[in-house]
Chains A and B, each alone.
Chain A
Amino acid sequence: MVLRQQNEIYASGKSAMKEAALPGDSENVSAEELILWESCHTELGCLYVEVTQKLLQRFRSKETAELDLTRVEASRTIQDYKKRMKNFLEKSDLYSAHHILELLPQDYLQ
Chain B
Amino acid sequence: MISDEIEQRVNLQNFWVASLQKYAQKINSSSVGEAAESFIKSHIEWTVEEVGIDCTIECLKKSKKFEPPFRSKDLMKSFLRKHGGTNAVIQYLEYMCLECGPTRAAINLNALLNRQKEDLKKGVEPEKQSI
**Which A residues contact B (CB, under 8 angstroms)?**
22, 24-29, 34, 36-37, 40-41, 43-44, 47-48, 50-51, 84, 87-88, 91-94
Contacts and interface: CB of A to CB of B under 8 A. Distances in A.
A22 B96 CA distance: 23
Given A26-B114, A47-B90, A88-B98, 19 more contacts: A24-B111, A24-B115, A25-B107, A26-B102, A26-B106, A34-B107, A36-B71, A37-B97, A37-B101, A40-B93, A40-B97, A40-B101, A44-B97, A47-B89, A84-B94, A87-B98, A88-B97, A91-B103, A92-B103
Tell me what chain A mostly uses at the interface: helix, strand, loop, or mixed: helix
Contacts of B89: 47
B128 interface: no
A43 B115 CA distance: 32
Contact of A27 (B101, B104, B114): B114
B98 A92 contact: yes
A29 B66 CA distance: 11
Contact of A50 (B86, B98, B114): B86
Contact of B110 (A27, A44, A87, A92): A27
Contact of A44 (B90, B105, B106): B90
Contact of A37 (B87, B102, B118): B102
A52 to B, nearest CB: 11
B93 A93 contact: no
Given A24-B111, A26-B111, A27-B114, A93 B94 contact: no
Contact of B93 (A22, A25, A29, A47): A47
B85 to A, nearest CB: 9
3 A-B pairs with the lowest CB-CB distances in the bound complex, closest first: A26-B110, A44-B93, A93-B104
A28 B102 contact: yes
Interface in B66-105: 71, 86-87, 89-90, 93-94, 96-98, 101-105
